Chain A
């Protein structure tokens, strides 16, 4: 963060220093007895919070126009509150601009710029939300996110699934859950290394997302197992979507990072359709079908 936003931080620090120097030049430091400690705590706290907001904002954002607006707004607010704090310690003539004028200009300007920045941030967020739609639908919880693929994890799935089940029951619409498992993923890990396996999972997640509808939700269940929630989808449609996913993955020519070798994958899938039951039962049924499909495939390859 420090390197990326070096100039913004330096500017804020520089201006803060100038206000200290000017205040000291035109005013006198108060005696201990004249200082109102309650004001110091109150205004100091506001100043500290403004600095914290500035820190959090810069720390979580890349460079760009929206970041500049947010930083400018928060920076102005910080300098304003800091000046407010300073004149609790340094006595400045009431008539001087520095005492009252500076703060009454800085604060409203800062707030206006911040509001403008927040508005653009909101526009920016809408763009990202649309992109992340098939990963989170209308619910976001960063603590339930899988660090590797950016998809929701199993707890996120359970939560979303239970909401989707309720909605499906309410609207009398079918709901399907598909569990996908990559065939021989352990062997791929063994052959190309686990870093390659991780990258493959990331790319497969993207590929699956591309093949889903706007209302569908993809989660990473665990390991190489993905879960897709398909609202308003009956058995036939779920089969069709699963077949599409399966074909897309079979045609995906993954290239390893080291040698650029091409690796083809296939998946096994288990579909379960909601029948007036609980989340766990639905997952359980899909797991059973998935493992049956896997066994069938293995028996086939042994026979062949």
Chain B
């Protein structure tokens, strides 16, 4: 696992003309002064325009902070998302553009996440007739996770609509009641489930293999192998996403800071420092992963509480209930009643 190259919040790994360009472009089209936009980011406009600048994720976050301060309107995340794809991502853009159906497009997004979505990493989860897509922090987005999630979901909704030539029947899950419901309704559509305790997209499996008009098999294949070559030299997963993935895989063995550290080949103190650098902690990651897993087991698989408690190594259902309340603000019984009433 440690042999897999990963990038951290301070690794220079984001091509400025790829992902950040959507943000800079949005700000410029709204007449934002470029000095104000780039203040404190360590980015210079001339370097950016030359198209050879590589940024650290931390610089992207500084840029995000500036944009959110200068353009505080609720629609900013949605506008940035709408501009993201096809964008200027080199072969990854062509691969996405020439995908034959939604499933291929999603696979490209997951596979070349480091290029197409360096700050959030998409995760696919299959259940019954539906596919769920979750967006996770890749490398320490901290306070920007919600903004970035709105942005990435908008990007995927828009691209799939353009490529399919019609709007797809997405369903959306939001953690609570959003402050600006109208933005979600207009940019995403009406099928929005609030109070789902996590962000997610949902689509029926039948939509996945539906052929898209712009499919170009050979173009897609060439673009994919070009991307593969690129990623051989570059790290292809963010540290936080890698760590979450490890926790998810090891849930059955009840991982701890110590076991995780030895798995990553570093001391517990170094791991702690590394997580802190990414604005998070072991407990925060562990709680998040367990919350998501508990939600999946309780709402989708409808497992009994005691079973979930055992699987997550809680002493009994009461302890799980208390932890669940801490994670989501409600107890599991309220959750299931809310979900069933929504149906």
Tell me the A residues contacting B by CB distance below 8 Å.
146-148, 153-154, 181, 186-187, 189-190, 194-195, 198, 221-225, 287, 291, 298
A194 lies within 8 A of B26 (CB): yes
Q: Which residues on the A side are within 8 Å of B185 (C-beta)?
A: 222, 287
CA distance A153 to B186 in the complex (A): 13
B180 touches A222 (CB 8 A): yes
Report the minimal beta-carbon distance from A182 to chain B, rounded to whole angstroms.
11
A195 to chain B, nearest CB (A): 4
Q: Closest chain B residue to A224 by CB distance?
A: B186
Mind listing 24 A-B residue pairs with CB under 8 Å? A147-B30, A147-B73, A153-B73, A154-B182, A181-B186, A186-B82, A186-B158, A186-B161, A190-B162, A194-B82, A194-B83, A198-B30, A221-B182, A221-B186, A222-B74, A222-B75, A222-B180, A222-B187, A223-B78, A223-B183, A223-B186, A225-B186, A287-B185, A298-B166
Q: Tell me which residues across on chain A come within 8 A of B74, comparing CB atoms.
A: 153, 222
Q: B183-217 toward A: CB 8 Å interface, digit per residue (1/0)?
A: 10111001000000000000000000000000000
The answer to whether B180 touches A154, judged by C-beta atoms less than 8 angstroms apart, is yes
Query: Bound state CA distance, A147 and B166, in angstroms?
Result: 30
Asked if B260 is at the interface of the complex by the 8 Å CB criterion, the answer is no
| Cβ-defined contact, A291 with B162, below 8 A | no
Knowing that A146-B73, A287-B190 touch, tell me 4 more A-B residue pairs with CB under 8 angstroms: A154-B182, A187-B162, A189-B82, A222-B75
> Which residues of the other chain, A, contact B288 by a CB distance below 8 angstroms?
none
Which residues of A lie under 8 Å from residue B30 when comparing CB positions?
147-148, 198
Interface string of B66-95 (1 = CB under 8 A from A): 000001011100110011000000000000
| A158–B161 alpha-carbon span in the complex (Å) | 30
> How many residue pairs bridge A and B at CB < 8 Å?
49
Contact status of A195 and B190, CB under 8 A, knowing A146-B73, A223-B75: no
Cross-interface CB contact of B182 among A147, A194, A198, A222, cutoff 8 Å: A222
Considering the chains assembled together, what is the distance between the CA atoms of A148 and B26 in angstroms? 13
Query: In the complex, what residue of chain A is closest to B26 when comparing beta carbons?
Result: A194
Mask for B13-37, Cβ within 8 A of A = 1, else 0? 0000000000001100110000000
What is the CA–CA distance of A223 and B154 in the complex, to the nearest angstrom? 12
- CB <8 Å contact, A223 and B29: no
Quick check: B187 and A194 within 8 Å, CB to CB?
no
Q: Which 5 A-B pairs have the closest CB atoms?
A: A223-B186, A222-B186, A222-B182, A154-B182, A195-B29
Bound Cα distance A291, B169 (Å):
14
Known A-B contacts A223-B183, A223-B187, A291-B190; the reply to A194 vs B79 at CB < 8 A is: yes
CB distance from B33 to the nearest CB of A (A): 15
Check A198 against B162 for contact (C-beta < 8 Å).
no
The docked-state distance in angstroms from the alpha carbon of A275 to that of B30 is 40
Complex contact B183–A222 (CB within 8 A): yes
Nearest chain B residue, comparing its CB with the CB of A195: B29
- In the complex, what residue of chain B is closest to A154 when comparing beta carbons? B182
How far does the Cβ of A185 sit from chain B's closest Cβ, in whole Å?
10
A303 to chain B, nearest CB (A): 14
Contact residues, B1-57 vs A (CB, 8 A): 25-26, 29-30
Instruction: Determine the chain B residues whose CB is within 8 A of the CB of A189 once the complex forms.
Output: 82
1/0 per residue B137-168: CB within 8 Å of A? 00000000000000000000010011000100
Task: Look across to chain B and name the residue whose beta carbon is closest to the beta carbon of A145.
Answer: B73
Q: A147-B73, A186-B82 known; A198 and B186 CB under 8 Å?
A: no
Q: A221-B186, A222-B182 known; A198 and B82 CB under 8 Å?
A: no
Per the bound structure, the CA–CA distance linking A287 and B185 in Å amounts to 9
Give the residues in chain B near A195, CB-CB below 8 Å: 29
Complex Cα distance A187/B162, Å? 8
Given A186-B162, A223-B78, also A194-B73 (CB < 8 A): no
B183 contacts A198, C-beta separation under 8 Å: no
Min CB gap B68→A, angstroms:
14
B78's closest neighbor in chain A, by CB? A223
